[in-house]
Amino acid sequence: MRQLIKPENTMQKTSFRKHRVERFSTQQVTRQRKERQPKTVILFNKPYDVLPQFTDEAGRSTLKDFIPVAGVYAAGRLDRDSEGLLVLTNDGALQAKLTQPGKRTGKIYYVQVEGEPTPEALTALRDGVTLNDGPTLPAGVELVEEPVWLWPRNPPIRERKSISTRWLKITLYEGRNRQVRRMTAHVGFPTLRLIRYAMGGYTLDGLANGDWRKAE
Protein backbone atom coordinates (compact mmCIF):
# COMPACT_ATOMS: atom_id res chain seq x y z
CA MET A 1 0.00 0.00 0.00
CA ARG A 2 1.42 3.31 -1.07
CA GLN A 3 2.08 5.88 1.60
CA LEU A 4 0.90 9.29 0.60
CA ILE A 5 3.60 11.90 1.12
CA LYS A 6 2.27 15.36 1.79
CA PRO A 7 4.41 17.88 -0.11
CA GLU A 8 6.13 20.44 2.04
CA ASN A 9 5.42 24.10 1.47
CA THR A 10 8.86 25.62 1.38
CA MET A 11 7.53 29.21 1.06
CA GLN A 12 7.63 31.04 4.36
CA LYS A 13 4.43 32.85 5.14
CA THR A 14 4.50 36.31 6.67
CA SER A 15 1.32 37.68 8.09
CA PHE A 16 0.05 40.99 6.77
CA ARG A 17 -0.12 42.31 10.33
CA LYS A 18 3.53 41.45 11.02
CA HIS A 19 4.61 43.13 7.78
CA ARG A 20 2.77 46.31 8.73
CA VAL A 21 4.28 46.35 12.22
CA GLU A 22 7.81 45.90 10.88
CA ARG A 23 7.31 48.56 8.22
CA PHE A 24 5.92 51.16 10.61
CA SER A 25 8.54 50.30 13.22
CA THR A 26 11.27 51.06 10.67
CA GLN A 27 9.64 54.38 9.79
CA GLN A 28 9.37 55.26 13.47
CA VAL A 29 13.07 54.53 14.09
CA THR A 30 14.04 56.67 11.09
CA ARG A 31 11.85 59.51 12.35
CA GLN A 32 13.33 59.24 15.84
CA ARG A 33 16.86 59.40 14.44
CA LYS A 34 15.99 62.61 12.60
CA GLU A 35 14.47 64.07 15.75
CA ARG A 36 17.60 63.26 17.73
CA GLN A 37 19.87 65.23 15.38
CA PRO A 38 21.49 68.04 17.38
CA LYS A 39 20.64 71.59 16.41
CA THR A 40 23.39 73.09 14.29
CA VAL A 41 23.82 76.81 13.63
CA ILE A 42 26.68 78.10 11.48
CA LEU A 43 27.63 81.74 10.95
CA PHE A 44 29.47 82.44 7.71
CA ASN A 45 30.96 85.70 6.48
CA LYS A 46 30.20 85.28 2.78
CA PRO A 47 32.65 86.88 0.36
CA TYR A 48 31.60 88.72 -2.77
CA ASP A 49 30.89 86.49 -5.83
CA VAL A 50 29.94 83.39 -3.78
CA LEU A 51 26.53 81.78 -4.27
CA PRO A 52 24.46 81.16 -1.09
CA GLN A 53 24.08 77.43 -1.92
CA PHE A 54 26.21 74.29 -1.89
CA THR A 55 26.02 73.29 -5.57
CA ASP A 56 26.11 75.04 -8.93
CA GLU A 57 25.99 73.40 -12.35
CA ALA A 58 27.88 76.32 -13.90
CA GLY A 59 30.90 75.74 -11.68
CA ARG A 60 30.71 79.05 -9.81
CA SER A 61 31.97 79.44 -6.24
CA THR A 62 29.53 78.08 -3.63
CA LEU A 63 29.30 77.45 0.11
CA LYS A 64 30.90 74.04 -0.43
CA ASP A 65 34.20 75.79 -1.12
CA PHE A 66 34.20 77.15 2.44
CA ILE A 67 31.97 75.05 4.75
CA PRO A 68 32.63 71.29 5.19
CA VAL A 69 29.39 70.67 7.08
CA ALA A 70 26.48 68.65 5.67
CA GLY A 71 22.77 68.92 6.42
CA VAL A 72 22.56 72.68 6.97
CA TYR A 73 20.79 75.21 4.79
CA ALA A 74 20.87 79.00 4.49
CA ALA A 75 18.21 80.91 6.40
CA GLY A 76 17.32 83.42 3.72
CA ARG A 77 19.36 84.42 0.72
CA LEU A 78 22.33 86.72 0.37
CA ASP A 79 22.86 87.51 -3.28
CA ARG A 80 26.03 86.57 -5.09
CA ASP A 81 27.09 90.21 -5.34
CA SER A 82 26.42 90.88 -1.64
CA GLU A 83 28.68 90.10 1.31
CA GLY A 84 28.47 89.39 5.01
CA LEU A 85 26.47 87.29 7.42
CA LEU A 86 24.81 84.10 6.25
CA VAL A 87 23.17 81.91 8.89
CA LEU A 88 22.98 78.20 8.08
CA THR A 89 21.06 75.70 10.18
CA ASN A 90 19.23 72.37 10.25
CA ASP A 91 16.55 73.88 12.51
CA GLY A 92 13.34 74.67 10.63
CA ALA A 93 11.92 76.78 13.46
CA LEU A 94 15.01 78.99 13.49
CA GLN A 95 14.89 79.37 9.71
CA ALA A 96 11.28 80.52 9.97
CA LYS A 97 12.07 82.94 12.80
CA LEU A 98 14.86 84.57 10.80
CA THR A 99 13.10 84.77 7.44
CA GLN A 100 9.31 84.95 7.74
CA PRO A 101 8.00 88.54 7.55
CA GLY A 102 5.47 87.91 10.32
CA LYS A 103 8.29 87.27 12.80
CA ARG A 104 9.66 90.82 12.24
CA THR A 105 13.25 89.76 12.89
CA GLY A 106 15.60 92.67 12.28
CA LYS A 107 18.37 92.37 9.70
CA ILE A 108 21.11 95.02 9.69
CA TYR A 109 22.94 96.01 6.50
CA TYR A 110 25.81 98.39 5.86
CA VAL A 111 25.29 99.91 2.44
CA GLN A 112 27.64 102.04 0.37
CA VAL A 113 25.64 104.23 -1.99
CA GLU A 114 26.59 106.54 -4.82
CA GLY A 115 26.04 110.20 -4.01
CA GLU A 116 25.08 112.09 -0.85
CA PRO A 117 21.61 110.98 0.30
CA THR A 118 19.29 113.91 1.00
CA PRO A 119 17.16 114.21 4.14
CA GLU A 120 14.09 113.64 1.94
CA ALA A 121 15.57 110.38 0.60
CA LEU A 122 16.40 109.14 4.10
CA THR A 123 12.89 109.95 5.31
CA ALA A 124 11.37 108.07 2.37
CA LEU A 125 13.47 104.99 3.13
CA ARG A 126 12.48 105.14 6.80
CA ASP A 127 8.77 105.53 6.09
CA GLY A 128 8.66 102.97 3.28
CA VAL A 129 8.82 103.27 -0.49
CA THR A 130 6.57 101.70 -3.09
CA LEU A 131 8.42 99.19 -5.26
CA ASN A 132 7.03 97.14 -8.14
CA ASP A 133 5.97 94.43 -5.66
CA GLY A 134 4.30 96.84 -3.24
CA PRO A 135 5.22 99.22 -0.41
CA THR A 136 8.07 98.34 1.95
CA LEU A 137 7.71 98.29 5.72
CA PRO A 138 9.19 101.15 7.76
CA ALA A 139 12.93 100.65 8.19
CA GLY A 140 15.74 101.93 10.35
CA VAL A 141 18.01 104.17 8.23
CA GLU A 142 20.94 106.33 9.33
CA LEU A 143 24.04 107.87 7.80
CA VAL A 144 27.23 106.32 9.23
CA GLU A 145 30.96 106.35 8.64
CA GLU A 146 32.65 103.50 6.79
CA PRO A 147 32.80 100.56 9.26
CA VAL A 148 36.21 100.18 10.92
CA TRP A 149 35.95 96.38 10.61
CA LEU A 150 35.41 96.51 6.85
CA TRP A 151 37.55 94.22 4.67
CA PRO A 152 38.69 95.08 1.12
CA ARG A 153 36.42 93.71 -1.58
CA ASN A 154 37.85 91.62 -4.39
CA PRO A 155 37.38 93.02 -6.98
CA PRO A 156 36.96 96.60 -5.71
CA ILE A 157 33.75 98.47 -6.45
CA ARG A 158 33.63 100.75 -9.49
CA GLU A 159 33.62 104.30 -8.19
CA ARG A 160 33.24 107.45 -10.24
CA LYS A 161 35.80 109.94 -8.96
CA SER A 162 33.50 112.85 -9.72
CA ILE A 163 30.74 111.48 -7.45
CA SER A 164 31.14 110.96 -3.71
CA THR A 165 29.87 107.91 -1.84
CA ARG A 166 28.30 107.50 1.60
CA TRP A 167 27.51 104.63 3.95
CA LEU A 168 24.07 103.85 5.32
CA LYS A 169 23.08 101.52 8.14
CA ILE A 170 19.73 100.01 7.19
CA THR A 171 17.60 97.74 9.39
CA LEU A 172 14.88 95.76 7.61
CA TYR A 173 12.08 93.68 9.10
CA GLU A 174 11.24 91.84 5.90
CA GLY A 175 13.28 90.19 3.16
CA ARG A 176 12.29 90.65 -0.46
CA ASN A 177 14.42 89.87 -3.47
CA ARG A 178 17.25 92.45 -3.73
CA GLN A 179 15.21 94.76 -1.51
CA VAL A 180 17.96 97.06 -0.21
CA ARG A 181 19.34 97.67 -3.70
CA ARG A 182 15.89 98.42 -5.08
CA MET A 183 15.07 100.76 -2.18
CA THR A 184 18.20 102.91 -2.53
CA ALA A 185 17.86 103.01 -6.33
CA HIS A 186 14.22 104.08 -5.93
CA VAL A 187 15.25 107.24 -4.03
CA GLY A 188 18.07 108.00 -6.49
CA PHE A 189 21.16 106.61 -4.74
CA PRO A 190 22.29 103.28 -6.24
CA THR A 191 23.93 100.68 -4.00
CA LEU A 192 27.61 100.08 -4.74
CA ARG A 193 28.37 97.65 -1.93
CA LEU A 194 26.06 95.71 0.39
CA ILE A 195 27.12 93.91 3.57
CA ARG A 196 24.75 92.12 5.95
CA TYR A 197 26.00 92.59 9.49
CA ALA A 198 23.30 90.96 11.63
CA MET A 199 20.22 88.71 11.59
CA GLY A 200 18.31 88.72 14.86
CA GLY A 201 20.85 88.05 17.61
CA TYR A 202 23.56 86.77 15.25
CA THR A 203 26.30 89.14 14.05
CA LEU A 204 29.58 89.22 12.13
CA ASP A 205 31.56 90.18 15.23
CA GLY A 206 34.99 88.54 15.22
CA LEU A 207 34.37 86.71 11.95
CA ALA A 208 36.79 87.40 9.09
CA ASN A 209 35.56 87.44 5.52
CA GLY A 210 35.44 83.87 4.19
CA ASP A 211 35.48 82.31 7.69
CA TRP A 212 32.73 80.44 9.55
CA ARG A 213 32.03 79.25 13.07
CA LYS A 214 29.39 77.33 14.97
CA ALA A 215 27.01 79.32 17.16
CA GLU A 216 24.77 78.40 20.07
Residues taking part in catalysis: 79
Closest CA to 99 of 44, 167, 5, 174: 174
Q: Are 68 and 183 in contact (CB under 8 A)?
A: no
